Structure 1
Amino acid sequence: MTITKENCVVGIEYEVKEAGTTEVVDSNKGGEPLEFIIGMGQIIPGLENALVGMSKDESGDILVKAADAYGEVNPEAEQTLPKEQFEGIDLAEGMTLYGQGEHGQTVQVTVKSFNDDEVTIDFNHPLAGKDLMFSVKVLSAREATEDEMATGVVGGQSHGGGHCGSGCGCH
């Protein structure tokens, strides 16, 4: 089953490091597979594009440049706020905080610096500006159901043995 550009539900096991380092920044090894639908923007574009053409049980190391991962660092994504807005929080440089954005979405920020009056936070993703090295294994590849394509959610009614019949977009 080869992964195609669209309509494929893919399950992978992965480990990711910042390129050139040995520190693992994220992994699902030993846990549940990461499942997503190719072509729906559910994972970073560089990894998704590199998976196209791979098959079930295939493994590989994939280098994803920053521009195709979490983007370049945007210096305008920093904001300095009055320290009173962080009352009750034991601040530390580099810590991650979660808040609510303008439209009710969860927003992740990193504390860059602080003093007695102000706190500078960074809205850039912590991996922005970094090239990433993924070690992946394709655990599954199958055609997405109509429900999965409509909702973008993996796990509709037909998982049926993990293989597809005729007309499948995953070969």
Structure 2
Amino acid sequence: MKIDKNTVVSLRYKLTDAQNNVIEEPDSPMVYLHGGYEGTFPKIEAILEGQNIGFETTVQLEPTEAFGEYNPELLKIEPRTRFPEPLEVGMQFEGVPEEDSEEDTDLLAAEEDEDDSLIYTVTDVADNQVVLDGNHPLAGMALRFWVQVQDIRAATDEEIANRHPAGAESFTFGMPNEEDGEESDADDFISIASGAGRSNPRTLH
């Protein structure tokens, strides 16, 4: 079987920066639904189209083909009082309220309902303020992916309807894993993310 639309593809992969420093090389394969379902980067999917099990290649992605250029406008400063204890650099939260919002609770609830809510990483903690960065940790970086096709199978009707393979996990690339996520009882701060994509498939974006 060749890789074609509506096939489920298992890939071994290694992710490095442009200088070949390893960023991630997991033991488990990446599994995605092929055919424009946003399961991997378009450039990678285009190269894999029509390939067989055993095919391997290295693909270089510029920032615009991967996680985008770094956007300084996604750097936010929020009051320290909006966050839980303990708070540490590296913690990640989903959604940030807009400035001068009078309906913080409603706004945050609305943001959490959006599938594409940004994940913000704490980059600095001061006495009264917290610095958050909404850029993906790999934004602005040129990346290299070594991939090897490990398995190909036809997708089920349910997988096609759901737009991702059954049981596939989420690739986070610097984002928190689902088991690391915690929910706080506080009503007025941003909820900790449970993982990029949440119930979505393991993906390379």
- Give TM-score scaled by structure 1 length: 0.76
SS at match of 1:154: coil
Structure 1 unaligned regions, length at least 5: 157-171
Residues 86 and 52 (structure 1), Cα distance of their counterparts in 2 relative to 1, 3 Å cut:
same
Post-superposition CA distance 1:30-68 (Å, at most 9, x none):
x2x211111101223332233224321111111112111
User: Which AA in structure 2 matches 1:115?
Assistant: A
Distance change >3 Å, CA 51–CA 89, structure 1 → 2? farther
Q: Moved runs in structure 1, 4+ residues, more than 6 A?
A: none
- For residues 11 and 3 of structure 2, the distance between their equivalents in structure 1, rounded to whole angstroms, comes to 12
CA contact (8 A) 2:91 2:122 kept: yes
Work out the CA distance in 2 between the residues paired with 1:112 and 1:143.
43
1:28 alignment partner AA: P
Question: Are the counterparts in 1 of residues 71 and 135 from structure 2 also a CA contact under 8 Å?
Answer: yes
> Which of 94, 98, 101 is the matching residue for 2:93?
98
**Alpha-carbon distance in 2 for matches of 1:140, 1:87:** 44
Letter in 1 for 2:23: V
Does the aligned pair in 2 maintain the 1:46–1:65 contact within 8 Å? Answer: no
Query: Given that residues 3 and 152 in structure 2 are in contact (C-alpha distance below 8 angstroms), is that contact kept between their aligned partners in structure 1?
Result: yes
Structure 2: which amino acid aligns with 1:142?
R
The correspondence for 2:72, drawn from 71, 75, 80, is: 75
Shift of 1:87: 3.9
Moved more, 81-90 or 55-64: 81-90
Matched, 1:19 2:14: no
Counterpart code for 1:98 = F
Whose Rg is larger? 1
Contact kept? 1:10, 1:36, Cα under 8 Å: yes
**Which residue is equivalent to 2:139?**
128
Partner of 2:112, secondary structure, is: coil
- In 1: Cα distance, 2:165 partner to 2:20 partner: 33
TM-score normalised by L of structure 2: 0.64
Q: Supply the distance in 1 between the matched residues of 2:20 and 2:164 (Cα, whole angstroms).
A: 34
Asked if 1:56 corresponds to 2:65, the answer is no
Q: Given residue 16 of structure 2, which amino acid in structure 1 is its aligned partner?
A: K
CA 1:118 to 1:155, structure 2 compared with 1: closer, same or farther past 3 Å? closer
1:35 maps onto 2:31 in alignment: yes
Q: Going by fraction, where is strand more abundant, 1 or 2?
A: 1
| Unaligned residue ranges in structure 2 (runs of 5+) | 96-107, 168-205
Deviation at 1:83, TM superposition (A): 1.2
Q: Give % identity.
A: 29
Residues 105-148 of structure 1: CA distance to partner in whole angstroms, max 9, x if unpaired? 57522223332221110111101111111111101123323222
2:62 partner amino acid: K
In structure 2, the residue matched to 1:109 is: 120
Amino acid at match of 1:103: E
